[in-house]
Amino acid sequence: MKRRNFFKTAAGAGLVLGTNAAPALTHLHAFSDRSRLSSVEARHYVKLPDREIECRLCPRNCRLGDKERGYCGVRENVGGVYRTLVYAKVCSLNNDPIEKKPFFHFLPGTAALSLATAGCNVNCKFCQNWEISQVRPEQVRNIDLPPRSVADLALRYQSPSIAYTYSEPIVFFEYMMDTAAVSRPRGLRNVVVTGGYINPDPLAELVRAVDAVKVDLKGFTEKFYAEYVRGRLEPVLEAIKLIARSRTWLEIVYLVIPGLNDDRDEIRRMSRWLVREAGPDVPLHFSRFHPMYLMKNLPSTPLSTLESARSIALSEGLRYVYIGNVPGHEAENTLCPACGRTVIRRIGFQVKSIELQSGRCRFCQNPIPGVWA
């Protein structure tokens, strides 16, 4: 699509594209025509006899006959060829602060052009973007945004990064990989916000193509994953270990849900595991839960629970532990573990000050791990 035609399409879809403003879309809810979905061949699958296929992208390894779709709802077997229906079919687009992802040690104070397609390969009962993650691509209105157009938009709005976020980027793997491939040579970074439910081979390919990954670690027991995520914990832990061993920047978010995954012993076990497998410098964000989707019967997370979780993680050796969804809390700030001074001060998604010089604390010269330039 030519650039001017994209902007016409975007305007018709409800995007606000001003010269000094960021792209502003939340989710488009009108229904799409099936004929407007993509038909690009998927990656990471094997062909089987009788036009069956087996998807190898995520741990579900869906085995599908002709005309059947995978669990994610956005990949379909068409005559023995597995095809993605959401390639370049964007249903959510915005220019967000990188802190909203959240990334706290990756280009603080900058914006990330953020996009999503429909679909997800898990079903979290507490999903905050269920309107696009838990639907078929026909159930949202999509705009065509090819990889080069994504890079054009990021450069136009002076966003140094492109973020694949909101739903589950694993299900639009091909689109994400191609966008990263065309945007990196133009000086853009690529960041992924994911649940980490992906097989090792595609993940190894992904971490070579992008610059940062934030994994939502939704709990630390298989029971929690089975009951509230409709997935398994072990593949997520393996994904975290693989990312931590790569050169790709990693941050972890743990949404603390009252009575379900806030057990102090569970938090302690998770913190010890992260120190051992991802290292003491991996940033960990304890995020406040608010009632939504299928879990509106629970209260918001008490602040004392979040503070207790942070205290446990720090005591187990993690050096950068944050509290999220509590704007103005002091645990939004980055402290130097050597001298204790504040090196990045934040309020909500706004960065108020940065006291770093070439990635080091300005006060004591201790190195602060991250991607700062």
User: Domain limits of the chain?
Assistant: 89-327, 333-373
Q: What is the CA radius of gyration of the chain?
A: 20
Average pLDDT over residues 265-288: 98
- Vertex 235: Cα angle to 232 and 240 (nearest 5): 125
Residue 126, beta-bridge partner list: none
Residue 9's pLDDT band (cuts 50, 70, 90): very low
Give the count of beta carbons closer than 10 Å to the beta carbon of residue 343.
23
Which phi and psi (to 5°) does residue 104 adopt?
A: -105, -15
In the structure encoding, which two tokens stand for residue 338, read together? Answer: 């050597």
Please report which confidence band the pLDDT of residue 2 belongs to, taking 50, 70 and 90 as the band edges.
Answer: very low
Euclidean distance between CA atoms 328 and 273, whole angstroms: 29
With CA atoms as reference, report the closest residue to 210 among 252, 172, 243, 245. Answer: 243
**Location of structure tokens 């040579």:** 185
Residue whose C-alpha is closest to residue 198's, from 239, 229, 240: 239
Tell me which long-range contacts 184-188 makes (C-beta under 8 A, separation of at least 24): 184/209, 186/151, 186/155, 187/160, 188/151, 188/154, 188/155, 188/159, 188/160, 188/161, 188/162
Task: Identify the CA nearest to 166 among candidates 194, 190, 135.
Answer: 194
Q: Are strands 334-335 and 321-324 parallel, antiparallel or unpaired?
A: unpaired
Are 249 and 240 spatial neighbours (Cβ–Cβ below 8 Å)? no
Helix (H) or strand (E) holding 106: none
Closest CA to 76 of 140, 137, 143, 146: 137
CA 371 to chain CA centroid, Å, is 17
Long-range contacts of 47-50 (CB under 8 A, 24+ apart): 47/80, 47/81
Helices (H) and strands (E) in the chain, counts: 9, 21
pLDDT digits (tens, 9 = 90+) for 233-256: 999 999 999 999 999 999 999 999
pLDDT reported for residue 134: 96
Which residue type occupies 12? G
Q: 89-327 falls under which CATH superfamily?
A: Aldolase class I (3.20.20.70)
% of the chain with per-residue pLDDT over 90: 90
- When pLDDT is averaged across residues 195-221 and rounded to a whole number, the result is 98
Q: Give the CA distances from residue 328 to residues 255, 290, 333, 352, in Å, rounded to whole numbers and listed in that order.
A: 18, 17, 9, 11
Q: Which pLDDT band holds residue 122 (cuts at 50, 70, 90)?
A: very high
Query: Model's pTM, two decimal places?
Result: 0.92
Q: State residue 14's pLDDT score.
A: 35
DSSP letter at 28?
A: -
User: Does residue 36 surpass a pLDDT of 90?
Assistant: no
pLDDT in tens, 340-354: 999 999 999 999 999
Residue-wise pLDDT tens digits, 280-334 = 999 999 999 999 999 999 999 999 999 999 999 999 999 999 999 999 999 999 9
Asked if residue 13 has pLDDT above 90, the reply is no
At 51-102, the pLDDT tens digits run 999 999 999 999 999 999 999 999 999 999 999 999 999 999 999 999 999 9
In eight-state DSSP terms, residue 67 is T
In this prediction, residue 15 carries a pLDDT of 44
Among candidates 97, 329, 52, 45, which has minimal Cα distance to 201? 45
Residue 271 in tokens: 């913190």
Average model confidence (pLDDT) for the chain? 92
